[in-house]
Structure 1
Amino acid sequence: MKKGSPEVEMIVREKTNQNAEFRIIGLSRSGNHAIINWIINQLNGKYCFLNCTEPKYNPFLTARPLTEEGEVYQTNIENFDLEKERQGNFTSKDYLLYNHEDCFLGPLEKTNKSQHKIWVGNSLHQRNIIILRDPFNLFASRIKSGLLRGHYPGHGGKPISILTLQRIYKQHAREFLNGKYLKNKVLINYNSWTSSSQYRRQIAQDLEISFSDEGFNEVTEVAGGSSFDGTSFSGKAQKMNLHDRWKKFAEDKEYWAMFDSEMIELTKKIFGNIPPVAFAERYLNSSN
């Protein structure tokens, strides 16, 4: 059916989310909120974004605070009422967006589809957006922000263990290459997203949204902004040294011990032979 045809227009009228439902998946400190903010800035129409929701549960009920004031959502819908949405009394939206962080992919496809419709309403299109950052800069940012438990004392409580992080990362990377878990996928390579406007234009095309690139240079305040720079580069995010975070740990043997041969090979296939790969291979060879 062609866009704008009577058949499509009839379907649209029956949908709560008239254009699309975007489920965004990525490890924390992979640039998730920067990309979400950029996507929102490309959208035309009414949207609602729910922050850090729990897989297999109603996203309206499990969203976590997005702001210091405790709001769990962002929207441009006038008089938006979260409690009504939670009860299934949905406002008509063009886009519904919500994200999952630090989760394995298996549980994501086990939600009952009819139950899911009760939670969020009907959607004309559904897209799974997977964000992946190279592991060397990702792990460095997680260490800096206190999101690793294990080798680094004081990182206890909420942070996941290094072993769990490695397992989730490898699963997400394999999904990038030849995944079997998720359908209707749009893959976003964070390294390429930060480096190429043409790449961002292609992502917008894949998501079937307009492209203005507005919001690209913003640094969101969620979780304090950047692990290294906070929000000091907001408005000039392109000047941030995003791909050299690993250098902070260049002499840290415990840091390099987190990367095995499989992690290195996955990195090469997705991100190419980036500078930290040589350091990781050197450590791996010296430890054999």
Structure 2
Amino acid sequence: MNYLFICMKRGGQHGIINWFAQQNHHDSLHLNNCIKGWEQQKLIPMKEHMVVHYKFNGAGHDIKNYFVDHKIDLDKSQQLRREFYQADFNDAQEKLYNIEDLSIAEYNERKMWNFGELANNSKTFLILRDPFNFIASCLQRLKNPPDEGARDVGIQLPQRLAIWKEHAYHILNGGATTRELHFINFNEWFLSEEYRKSLCDKHSLVFTDHGVNKIMNFGNGSSFDREKFDGEAQKMNVLTRYKDWENHKAFQHLIDDEITYLAEKIFDLKRN
């Protein structure tokens, strides 16, 4: 089985995918932000070594992340790239692909469920984070980016919110696609062990809950805490980030009636 995860940047997907890859007793690969190769019906990461190898050791997984941003540590980035090209991934029984900020309309138009190894036996997941904390995380990244290139999530937020709404309406009402999209509620995944167990039951995974507290370094971790809480991710206030921004005009301007409606319907959240 191979998997495709569709999610917005700053939507919590890396935590979920890292956890998902460890709910089994075999080797797997995560290929991050596969925005290349589409014209050839392939899914190739934005940078070829944006790959994480999960190697099962009998009790858990030994995890090798082959990517570090060269702007943060050039020597380590080059070393990991060399190791990536020398690595053997033949034992990987499944691949987990993700694409960020992908509209469902484009997913349907391109029939992405037929791309590469997804064509044989796969599932597609749609991950959604509540809009208030999603917006706050994007604005925080705009205010305090690890580098200038990371500001895009905030600069393009009005356009990106249109995609977020499309995802939300699909969750509520379904849509025209020949491939079922399985919803993962980021808020519930973060809060509830029972919810995580239910995901494992539904999708024939082996519940271990390994990885739930890991912060992946893709995107330089949390917009607010970076990687400060690595190993203790559930201590982060990821469901109350909006409180730092709720009185800011930029935040208020982005919260319209649609956002308010969708937040209540999907996440049972109301603004005071």
TM-score normalised by the shorter chain: which range applies? Answer: 0.7 to 0.9
Distance across 1 between alignment mates of 2:159 and 2:18:
27
Give runs of aligned pairs for residues 71-150 of structure 1, distance below 5 A.
71-76=49-54, 91=90, 93-111=92-110, 116=115, 119-120=116-117, 123=120, 125-146=121-142
Between 1:182-191 and 1:232-241, the stretch displaced more is: 182-191
Aligned 8 A contact 1:48 1:76 in 2: yes
Displacement of 1:206 in angstroms is 2.2
Displacement of 1:253 in angstroms is 1.9
Q: List gaps (5 residues or longer) in structure 1.
A: 1-19, 85-89, 149-153, 279-288
Aligned 8 A contact 1:24 1:99 in 2: yes
Give 1:62's aligned residue. 44
Displacement of 1:186 in angstroms is 1.7
* Candidates 204, 211, 214, aligned match of 2:210: 214
Distance across 1 between alignment mates of 2:22 and 2:132:
29
TM-score using structure 1 length: 0.73
Displacement of 1:249 in angstroms is 1.1
Larger CA Rg, structure 1 vs 2: 1
Cα distance, 1:156–1:224 mapped onto 2, change above 3 Å: closer
Q: Percent identity?
A: 28
Displacement of 1:61 in angstroms is 6.1
Distance across 2 between alignment mates of 1:126 and 1:236:
31
Amino acid at match of 2:17: I
CA RMSD of aligned residues (A): 3.2
* Candidates 219, 234, 238, aligned match of 1:223: 219
Give 1:251's aligned residue. 247
Aligned 8 A contact 2:2 2:96 in 1: yes
Distance across 1 between alignment mates of 2:215 and 2:112:
35
Displacement of 1:112 in angstroms is 5.4
Aligned 8 A contact 2:215 2:233 in 1: yes
Amino acid at match of 1:120: E
Q: List gaps (5 residues or longer) in structure 2.
A: 57-82
TM-score using structure 2 length: 0.77
Distance across 1 between alignment mates of 2:136 and 2:236:
15
Amino acid at match of 2:2: E
Cα distance, 1:155–1:121 mapped onto 2, change above 3 Å: closer
